[in-house]
Amino acid sequence: MSEHIIKKSLSMSTHALRIRWAAIGAAIAVSLGGGVTLFAQAGAAPATSSTFVAVSPVRVLDTRDAVVLWAGPFVTGVPHDVKVTGSIPTGAGTQTVMPAGSTGVVLNVTVVNSTADGYVSVRPADAVGAPQTSNINFEARKTVANSITVNLPTSGADAGTFEVWFDSMGVAGATADILVDVTGYYTSTSIAEIETAIDNKSDAIAIIGSGGEDFGDI
């Protein structure tokens, strides 16, 4: 695999911009040790960025398993909060899956053993009132899964926590088992901070191809 050396003296032509974004992606991948994608928010002043970090799937909720948060299925209309930052119980034991301050989480949510038709809504733990949208809709006794991205509160009692809500739409006492796996998370950082991290690398070289991607023109 060829190596592309990115120097600060490169002119910011279209070609250089494309290489620069690839270098940023590669540098973050090296520093975090995981799959990373960088998103720049167009039109922001000053520029802001959001960095996605992929992780090997980690089970953070399984209502069939007393070890993973709690035992027993969801009951319709009774929400539960799930904390995913810091040290938490998981299917593989207590561990830190995501750092404190993470701004979002990507989940794979599965519904099994439902006793009635219904839906599941996953949202930030500081949301108020009943949910107005659903993330998964299912029929009784059907196993259904979906990938869900949820914003996370970053301060207060609900920091790093999301809410899971099961509703059987009027069937009293209905229950469902719910499984949740974390597959990645978002962390907020500025483009300037990312570039500083690259510029401060001891060899001042970014290796393209070991995690960097071509993000196109700005």
Domain residue spans of the chain: 1-48+190-218, 54-185
Pairwise CA distance, residues 194 & 81, whole Å: 33
The better pLDDT of the pair 65, 164 is held by 164
> Quick one: pLDDT at residue 195?
60
CB–CB of 162/84 below 8 Å? yes
Largest CA distance in the chain: 68
**Alpha-carbon span 42 to 45, nearest angstrom:** 9
Confidence band (pLDDT; 50, 70, 90) for 164? very high
Distance CA 131, CA 54 (A): 28
Note the pLDDT tens digit of each residue in 74-112. 999 999 999 999 999 998 889 999 999 999 999 999 999
d(CA 12, CA 15): 8
CATH of domain 54-185: 2.60.120
Handedness of CA 140, 142, 143, 147 (dihedral sign): negative
- The per-residue pLDDT for 97 is 94
Does residue 134 have a pLDDT over 80?
yes
8 Å CB contact between 19 and 3: no
pTM to 2 decimal places = 0.69
> Phi and psi dihedrals of 32, rounded to 5?
-100, -15
Residue 76 is predicted with a pLDDT of 98
Mean pLDDT of the chain: 75
Per-residue pLDDT of 186-216, as tens digits, reads: 988 554 555 665 566 543 333 222 233 333 3
Q: What is the pLDDT of residue 91?
A: 86
Q: What is the pLDDT of residue 199?
A: 66
